Structure formats: C-alpha cells, structure tokens
Structure 1
C-alpha cells in the first residue's frame, strides 16, 4: 500500500456487506481467508512487518474508546502521550468545534460531539494511513463538512484515506469499491406493496 497506488478509497455497501471486515483486514486485526495484504511489498501478517505497519495506521471505528470520566482534552491528550507526541490536542479539538467543551467530562457529549472527539484524536495522533469506519455517522451537516475538510487536508499532505460508509461523503476522485450484499435480500413490506400496486 503506498500513496502512488491508492490515495483515497471509498468502500460502499449495505449493512453486512463486509465493509468493516475489509477494514479490519487492512488494519491487520483479521486475517484474510485468501490472498495477502502487502505494505511496502511485505505481508502485514508477518510479525516484524505488522509492528512497523501499525505505527502508520490510524483507526476510527464505531466503538469510540472514549473515557467517560476524562475531559474532552484528556481523551485526546491521553492518546497523544501514548504516541510520544504532544502539542496538537487542543488545536485538533478546536478545529473539530469542541474548544468550548475541552474541560468538560466526555460523558456530557452528544453522539455527534463524541464522533468529533474521535476525529480530533485522529488529527492529534497524525499517522499517514487513515482507516475510517462509518466516520460520518451521528455527525450533523457541519460535522460532515469538517470531516470532508480534514480528509482533504490529510490527502494534501500525502496521507492515505480508506473510508467504509453507506452515507455520502465528498472526497476528491476516490477509487470506489462497491461490496455486494453477503446474503440475499429478503422481501420487505415496501417490495410487497410495490408488487401489489398499492401506494
């Protein structure tokens, strides 16, 4: 995986089509049942390779890993300190529109604010490969615009962004992979009404 090969990838598909599983394989959390995932020409499942590869990854999932009793600022700084970095937390929080809430406990945040906090953490940690699982879920229109902006800025710096989503997110010329449903779709009430000609 390198910026010249893949810069922006959007994984599209219905719930259960395998978008998250695909991301988990790219992250090295799940082994593929066939084939290989290569990074700089090396299989990421090899332990020495994976150790180096994971230092380049930034993972955002639906499970937010937010510490309820920590402040908003502490939630970002804690991850920054684990990275051996410092100084980007407050700027990231402000960019994501949470500056006035920096000293508030995370348990006070709405779902959309929690997502913004996750995105602030992404910015503060600042790794080149972003794997984003449904990053716009719970965001309002302004939050989606901020998400689109930080993706664009990350790309300008040469970063790689891979997004799994069923919601529209504006990205500049992404490669799009549409995953088919894993199981045949069951007939819904809407399908039945369509067939009967009822409106």
Structure 2
C-alpha cells in the first residue's frame, strides 16, 4: 500500500509578491495554512496589511506567484466562485444599516446563507441581546464592532479575513473576540488577522510587513506638479 503524503494546506501563498500604488509590499512570500491555523499580519499603518487581505479575498491578484486554495489558484474563475463562499470578511467599513434593527442587521446576512436561528444567540454572546430590537443607529462604535463579530458567528464560514477586528472594542470586547477566534479554530476554521493592536491568538504565525517609504521625488515629478 503506498504511503500517504502530508495533507495539502488549505491555503498556500506560493512565492507571492504584491504591489500597491506601484510599490512592492511583499516579495516572494511562502506561507502554508492548514485547518485550524492562524496568520497575523502586522506592520505600520500604510504598510499594506489591508492590501494583502484583499488579495487573499480575491479582490486583487498577486503581481507574482499564486494563492492556492485546496491546491487551486483562487484567481481562476471557477475556483474563485467556490472559494468566495468559504470567506467571511470583516473590514473597517461595518456595513451597518442604521435604520434597521440590530437583529435585522445580522439576520439579513444569515438568510443569504440559507441559515436560521443563529443570529440572536450570536448577538447575546456578543453582549447585544438586550439591544436586538433597537435601531442600529443607537449603537456606539464599540457596539457596532460587536455587531460585525456577531455576523461572523451567525454566518459561520470556514475562512475569516479580519481587518483590525479589535479597533473600538473595550477590554471585554477584545476577550470575546479572542474567544470566538479560538472557538472557530477548534472547529477547523482558519483566521487571518491584520492588526496593529495586540490580540492573543495561540500558535499563530506572524507576517510583518515592512514600512512603506515614499519614493524620492524626481525633477519630472516637480515639473509635473508645477
């Protein structure tokens, strides 16, 4: 009987380079992420953390190399259609509908997934259960972030791409964030976090992006500005 090789990583950055505004932010990066894995992207503001997350979400393509999901290039149209159904994206833009109730803001996403019954328990876990029937316009910034995290729980997709998920959270909110990340990973989920704030994630891999420096202005640039 032939021996089985090690399992393929669920996500693989294979010799990936990435550009933003004609500047290189990553060069020849190789990262393997298996089920239950976590990757933390760190670096100064403007270093390209969000750009890299967007590339992992398939919104942009690497300038070189490839991002593989289950061994397939995510930029291929047939693959991307399946890959995007695995993703849960949390960005600094919270997409909260202020005229709708807090519960509606979670249930609407849950219905799109063809799921039911997870919205209210998710809100209760995030400390928003008593506000479920209130209009979302009443929420503070920290509560709006908790609402985003409740969506993560309710939608329950396997790959979480989180852009600054702890911004606006108080200490209790950060602990809840750390808990849901740990729980997601225990169930085989993958978490990729871009952050400049400390978040406790056990056994996570770190990828630090170097700071971006403006390129030196040339005489042509100065003439163009004139």
Does TM, scored on the shorter chain, surpass 0.5? yes
Alignment of 1:24-63 (within 5 A): 24-63=54-93
Query: Which string of whole-angstrom CA distances, capped at 9 and with x for unpartnered residues, describes residues 54-77 of structure 1?
Result: 010000000001111110000000
Q: What's the Cα RMSD here?
A: 1.2
Equivalent position of 1:125 in the other structure: 155
- The Cα of 1:3 is off from its aligned counterpart by 7.4
Q: Is the 8 A contact 2:128 2:147 kept in 1?
A: yes
Q: Is the 8 A contact 1:3 1:158 kept in 2?
A: no
Instruction: Identify the match of residue 109 of structure 2 among 79, 101, 107.
Output: 79
Report the Cα distance in structure 2 between the residues aligned to 1:78 and 1:183, rounded to whole angstroms: 42
Segments of structure 1 that go 5 or more residues without pairing to the other structure are 185-199
- The Cα of 1:183 is off from its aligned counterpart by 1.2
Alignment of 1:6-155 (within 5 A): 6=33, 7-155=37-185
Runs of 4+ in 1 over 2 A off after TM superposition: none
Q: Is the 8 A contact 2:126 2:146 kept in 1?
A: yes
Q: Is the 8 A contact 1:3 1:160 kept in 2?
A: no
Query: Which string of whole-angstrom CA distances, capped at 9 and with x for unpartnered residues, describes residues 37-56 of structure 1?
Result: 11111111111100000010
Structure of higher RCO (CA pairs closer than 8 Å, 6+ residues apart): 1
Equivalent position of 2:203 in the other structure: 173
Q: Is the 8 A contact 1:72 1:104 kept in 2?
A: yes
- Worse-matched range after superposition: 3-12 or 157-166: 3-12
Equivalent position of 2:20 in the other structure: none
Q: Is the 8 A contact 2:42 2:194 kept in 1?
A: yes
Report the Cα distance in structure 1 between the residues aligned to 2:11 and 2:179, rounded to whole angstroms: 19
Query: Which string of whole-angstrom CA distances, capped at 9 and with x for unpartnered residues, describes residues 85-120 of structure 1?
Result: 111000000000000000010111000000000000
Report the Cα distance in structure 1 between the residues aligned to 2:142 and 2:79, rounded to whole angstroms: 36
Higher helix share: 1
Equivalent position of 1:2 in the other structure: 10
Higher strand share: 2
TM-score, length-scaled by structure 2: 0.80
Q: Is the 8 A contact 2:142 2:170 kept in 1?
A: yes
